[in-house]
Amino acid sequence: MPKVTIEGKTVEVENGTTIIRAAAQAGIEIPHFCWHPGLSVAGNCRMCLVEIEKMPKLAIACATQVSDGMVVHVNSEKAIEARKAVLEFILINHPLDCPICDEAGECNLQDYTYSYGPGHSALEEAKNKKPKRVPLGPNVVYDAERCILCSRCIRVMDEVVKNPTLTFVERGDRVYIDTFPGKELNDPYSMNVIDVCPVGALTNRDYRFKARVWETSSTEGICAGCSRGCNINIWVRNNEILRLTPRFNPEVNSYWMCDNGRLNSFREVNSAERLNSPLVRKDGVLQEAGWDESLAHAADALKPFSKDEIAVFGSAYSSVEDNYILQKFAKQVLGTTNIDFLQHTIEGDQDNLLIRADKTPNSCGAREAGVVSSKGVDSKKIFELIAAGKIKALYVMDDDIAASKEIEELLTKLDVLIVNHWVKTKTTQLADVVFPSATFAEKYGTFVNFLGRVQMFRPAVSTLEQERVPGRFTMSRLDKFGSAFDKWNKGPRRNVRSSWEIISAVGNLLGGKMRYQSAQKVFDEIAQVAPSFKGLSYAKLGDRGALLSRQGSGSIGKKSKEEALVS
């Protein structure tokens, strides 16, 4: 394996490694525009020029492979002067609109100009005018004057999405990006071109002009849009989610995410239909109540029924911790085996890149957490028992089970219906007690994706009773702007709790011993009692997750129906 010295640091790399990748391994950044680790090498921006000893000319680091004994200077006088020349050439026609550009604060061109730029233009001629605010599709807006022609967006659509849509048009200094004739940038992955754009040429129509990056907090999370569990960053200002962006994880989603997850998986967090206090039905009408009153009312409502008269629905939208506490409550406190969760699968809505037919983030985790009946009483059987009048009380956690008129009518036959949810639904409208629960963006927890990878998420949005996990797991991963979470999350806070907290409180009122201080404590217990989680902890999950043990209950290691659709 060749050894290369870059800026005085020697690193050993594999054969065929390029200088820019070797530098990254050594912790050295080489400025670049067109190069992206998830795309092919274009080598057209020339920003990554470096000086190599015993070579007569500067070389581009993105395409030049290292050789044993090579000595590379990234910040030599010769390399810096070349970098300044490249920037001056790019800035000849680039508009001076940083104050109104959405990319300001996270723009590579802006950063490099401050670091290496000449500070003024050598030309006084008028800049070329190109198309501005061009909608390339329903979600992406293009400003050709800002475009530096790096071709990243073209390569994303060609190489990753496999749907060639964009191309260069015109020639010379008149070149800009456009869609092929008769085509529109409306692919399910089209918004990935925004993430790879190193400048503000491609922007998110949903996010444009909403906030500056330094006004927001960035928290590492997991997309709740499907069973892939894409790693994301959640961007929040005034306690409201403004956008989601993909976070690199080579085991799950690489650098990408789908448009549906990006735009829709957080809508319920911001929804005007959010529940903000417990509700108790009095005189036939749901009325607001305090937590103590509603918890006591729920416990009293369940007491008269035998274990065979009660059923429980978990949720593939809820965390592993929520589902574990629910099944413990059902089996140990209520003594019932009438427990299951609903699948939410859209057959055919799946591809070979990221999108899964299972539209929930944690069906695998709910199953592994024990939300299954030991006597084979599935959801269909539970509905049959309700219709027969044998099940009289039902607890539903974080799911709208009233998916049809038939089930709505069934639920009206119940003597008691208790529901946890974050928004108003058909099921909550029929309930006797409603508890407002926290979403995936407001609590700590874990999801297990369809491959069996356990992944942790953290609160990005503040609530009135925010849980804090001791140690290094703080409220938010603080970014370079400092304590952004505390500084910018000063909007209204909702009066919600994690479902595991709500269910534990009801269970304790019924004589159970379910006293947990945090989601972390719940997960630690899961790791002790569930073979598939053995040896795992929040610390071991880190920011990329970990696979379940194959000694689990059987759902891991066997091909599910939706996995078979792809394989």
- pLDDT value of residue 489: 58
3-state class (DSSP) for residue 523 = helix
Token pair 């997960």 in the structure block, residue: 523
3-91, what's its fold? Ubiquitin-like (UB roll) (3.10.20)
- pLDDT value of residue 494: 93
* Closest by Cα among 109, 257, 103, 101 to 191: 257
User: Which residues are within 8 A (CB) of 343 and not within 5 positions of it... i.e. 6 or more apart?
Assistant: 316, 358, 360, 363
- pLDDT value of residue 490: 67
Length of the chain: 567
The CATH number fitting domain 98-270, selected from 3.40.50.300, 3.30.70.20, 2.40.128.20, 3.30.30.10: 3.30.70.20
d(CA 246, CA 254): 9
User: Which residue ranges make up each domain of the chain?
Assistant: 3-91, 98-270, 279-459+497-566
Residues of the chain with pLDDT under 70: 466-490, 551-567
Nearest-10 crossing angle of helices 499-509, 320-328: 10
What residue ranges in 273-342 does DSSP mark as E strands? 279-282, 285-288, 310-313, 339-340
* Closest by Cα among 265, 270, 205 to 236: 270
- pLDDT value of residue 147: 97
Could you give the angle at the alpha carbon of 50 between the alpha carbons of 45 and 56, nearest 5°?
Answer: 110
What six digits make up the tokens of 373?
Answer: 């009946």
- pLDDT value of residue 120: 73
pTM higher than 0.85, yes or no? yes
3-state class (DSSP) for residue 453 = strand
The CATH number fitting domain 279-459+497-566, selected from 3.30.70.260, 3.40.50.740, 3.60.60.10, 3.40.50.2300: 3.40.50.740
Sort strands 416-421 and 393-397 into parallel, antiparallel or unpaired. Answer: parallel
Tell me if 161 sits within 8 A of 131, measured CB to CB: no
How does DSSP classify residue 541?
H
d(CA 120, CA 88): 9
